[in-house]
Amino acid sequence: MPDMDYRKEPEKISQLTPDQYKVTQEAATEPAFRNEFWDNRDAGLYVDIVSGEPLFASINKFNSGTGWPSFTVPIDRDNIVLNKDNSHGMVRTEVRSKHGESHLGHLFDDGPIDQGGLRYCINSAALRFVPVDQLQASGYGQFRDLFASDVAS
């Protein structure tokens, strides 16, 4: 993957909606089943709303029944940071973006067994969706091959 310049910039933070800010900067959780991407079935790439770094692909998204977008693996583990989270009276693993430093959601071990058993439970408010047909124009053309079976030649 080419070395892109993904980072957290004050200008991007100032453009976030109140919900996006609460989720990414204050580690809030958006409501289940009332968020933009929980039921999105379109082919494409999910990137950090702050930095634009590529995080997840629709090919690794599954319906967990939880009401949040759920993925089995990130596109590039180097763009993900895992932290111990002791909030809310439980021990969880927080998922953050490396370059954007955005709170994304949490990692659980109740994902599809045949795909590794992990569930990256991610807040829609932390993501921007780039449809397959817009990957090239949006600077993510190198990921188009991930969707070869979803895209007509």
Residues pairing with 44 in the sheet: 131
The first and second tokens of residue 124, run together, are 């829609």
Q: Which of 121, 127, 130, 146 is catalytic?
A: 121
Burial of 24 (0-12, 13-18, 19+ CB in 10 A): buried
The first and second tokens of residue 134, run together, are 């817009």
121 carries an active-site annotation? yes
115-149 b/e (C-beta count within 10 Å ≥ 16 → b): eeebbbbbbbbbbbbbebeebeeeebeebeebbee
Which residues belong to the active site?
Answer: 121
